[in-house]
């Protein structure tokens, strides 16, 4: 793709400083950019790269003042990072594939909407419904009675099991598994475990994104629900009957145990663990590697640690924790001195 800076600035509602006829054909990081590319400067700590970059143009804040002359053409915008995301969208190639490749299996009474794409070696079970513009890449498995909303994209290797409901404009990345059995077993007297049938499903509302190798278990009864706008990273485990509120984001290697309810607009860092049957309030932030063992009922709270608690208290405790070896040595010295004094007193008394 090629675009003039004049046209690009118009799309971004920006103001140019430099050659308006210059042409951009790629995007790049500011420190790696070359001729014909556009980059951005949003964080002041990277300003030094502005004076050495080979980029043809750089997006900067509308009020930014350079400390020295710059070679690139400046495109002044209200929010450089958000504007750069818009540029990335312009350069992202749209998926143009349409039709059913061969070989693949399409079961009985399957509804395929307009402009649907089904890649080779995919399987679509009986009574499933694919909305307009759905894109199914090769080697995808879709079980029976699955509903997939319009413009959803499912990448290779993903598995959508029976009775699951996927909303509109969702993106499911390679090897994600949606609708596998929940981890439910009843311990028996002879120490073996009896499997609990998992009869529910998974519901993804509109605009949900599920990362590669993430697994979302079907409910024992009812539905595991991922609400509108949720973004799940790679390698996440969501257990049966969990509900995740609108626009919550969860980073990689997080595990959420069964029947936990997470509120709206929450942020969970990588490797967070949450036990089952908890309630997490709206707008809560959980720092990476935290272990949550009780409900968080205060909206907007930020927690860290294992067990997790208020991040400000955690930081104070961590300062003390780092000093424990030094404090231990001091205690040992004081203890030795006290023992010596006691011994001297005892010896003096005996004389």
What is the per-residue pLDDT across 30-66, written as a single tens digit (0 to 9) for each? 999 999 999 999 999 999 999 999 999 999 999 999 9
CATH fold label, 158-307:
UDP N-Acetylglucosamine Acyltransferase; domain 1 (2.160.10)
Q: 316: which residues sit within 8 A by CB, 6+ positions away? A: none
pLDDT-derived band of residue 338, with 50, 70 and 90 as boundaries?
A: confident
What is the Cα Rg of the chain in Å?
A: 28
pLDDT tier at 168 (50, 70, 90 boundaries)?
Answer: very high
Q: Which two tokens stand for residue 287?
A: 């720092």
pLDDT surpassing 50 at residue 300: yes
Would you state the structure tokens that stand for residue 209, as one six-digit string? 């994104």
61, containing H or E segment: strand 57-61
Distance, CA of 265 to CA of 268 (rounded, Å): 10
DSSP 132-170: TT-EE-TT-EE-TT-EE-TT-EE-TT-EE-TT-EE-TT-
Question: What pTM does this model have?
Answer: 0.88
Q: How far apart are CA 86 and CA 75, in angstroms?
A: 13
In this predicted structure, what is the pLDDT of residue 335? 86
Q: Is the pLDDT of residue 334 over 90?
A: no
Let me know: does 41 contact 80? Beta carbons within 8 Å. yes
DSSP string of 293-305, one letter each residue: -S-B-STT-EEET
Task: Look at domain 3-91 and name its CATH class.
Answer: alpha beta
pLDDT single digits (tens) 226-253: 999 999 999 999 999 999 999 999 999 9
What integer pLDDT is reported at residue 340 of this predicted model? 80
Do the domains spanning 3-91 and 158-307 agree at the CATH topology level?
Answer: no
Mean pLDDT lowest among 176-190, 199-213, 272-286, 337-351: 337-351
Rounded mean pLDDT, 298-325: 93
Rounded to whole angstroms, the Cα distance separating 19 from 38 reads 13
- pLDDT value at residue 93: 82
Could you tell me which of 264, 263, 219, 266 has the C-alpha nearest to residue 238? Answer: 219
Residue 295 CA to residue 282 CA, distance in Å, equals 12
Chain mean pLDDT for the chain? 95
Structure confidence by residue, pLDDT tens digits, 264-282? 999 999 999 999 999 999 9
Pairing outcome for strands 159-160 and 141-142: parallel
166/206 Cα distance (integer angstroms): 8
Task: For residue 340, give every residue at least 6 positions away whose Cβ sits within 8 Å of its Cβ, in sequence order, or none.
Answer: none
Whether 79 sits among the annotated catalytic residues: the reply is no
Residue 87 pLDDT exceeds 70? yes
Asked whether the predicted pLDDT for residue 162 surpasses 80, the reply is yes
Q: Convert the pLDDT of each residue in 96-106 to its tens digit.
A: 899 999 999 99
pLDDT value for 351: 47
User: What residue spans define the domains of the chain?
Assistant: 3-91, 158-307
Per-residue pLDDT, 349? 52
Checking if the pLDDT of 347 tops 70, the result is: no
Q: How far apart are CA 152 and CA 130, in angstroms?
A: 9
Identify whether the C-beta of residue 224 lies closer than 8 Å to the C-beta of residue 202: yes
* CA angle centred on 196, ends 124 and 268, rounded to 5°: 75
Name the catalytic one among 25, 111, 173, 240: 240
């Amino acid at each position: 793709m090629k675009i003039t800076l004049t046209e690009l600035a118009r799309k971004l509602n920006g103001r140019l400083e430099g050659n308006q006829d210059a042409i951009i054909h790629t995007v790049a990081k500011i420190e790696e950019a070359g001729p014909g590319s556009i980059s951005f400067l949003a964080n002041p700590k990277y300003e030094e790269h502005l004076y050495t970059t080979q980029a043809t143009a750089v997006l900067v804040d509308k009020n930014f003042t350079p400390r020295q002359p710059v070679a690139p053409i400046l495109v002044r915008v209200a929010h450089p990072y958000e504007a750069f995301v818009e540029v990335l969208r312009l350069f992202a190639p749209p998926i143009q594939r349409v039709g059913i490749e061969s070989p693949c299996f399409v079961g009985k009474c399957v509804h395929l909407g307009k402009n649907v794409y089904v890649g080779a070696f995919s399987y679509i079970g009986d009574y499933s419904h694919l909305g307009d513009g759905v894109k199914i890449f090769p080697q995808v498995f879709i079980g029976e009675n699955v509903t997939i909303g319009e413009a959803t994209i499912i990448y290779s290797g993903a598995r959508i099991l029976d009775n699951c409901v996927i909303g509109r404009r969702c993106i499911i990345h390679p090897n994600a598994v949606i609708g596998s059995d929940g981890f439910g077993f009843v311990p028996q007297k002879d120490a073996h475990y009896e499997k609990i049938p998992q009869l529910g499903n998974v519901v993804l509302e509109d605009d949900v994104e599920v990362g590669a190798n993430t697994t979302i278990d079907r409910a024992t009864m009812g539905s595991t629900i991922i609400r509108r706008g949720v973004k799940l990273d790679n390698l996440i485990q969501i257990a049966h009957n969990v509900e995740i509120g609108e626009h919550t984001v969860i980073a990689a290697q997080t595990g959420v145990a069964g029947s936990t309810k997470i509120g709206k607009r929450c942020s969970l860092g990588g490797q967070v663990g949450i036990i089952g049957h908890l309630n997490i309030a709206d707008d809560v932030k959980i720092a990476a590697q935290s272990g949550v063992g009780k409900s968080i009922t205060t909206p907007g709270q930020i927690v860290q640690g294992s067990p997790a608690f208020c991040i400000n208290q955690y930081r104070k405790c961590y300062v003390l924790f780092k000093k424990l070896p030094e404090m231990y040595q001091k205690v040992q010295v004081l203890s030795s001195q006290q023992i010596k004094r006691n011994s001297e007193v005892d010896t003096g008394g005996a004389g």
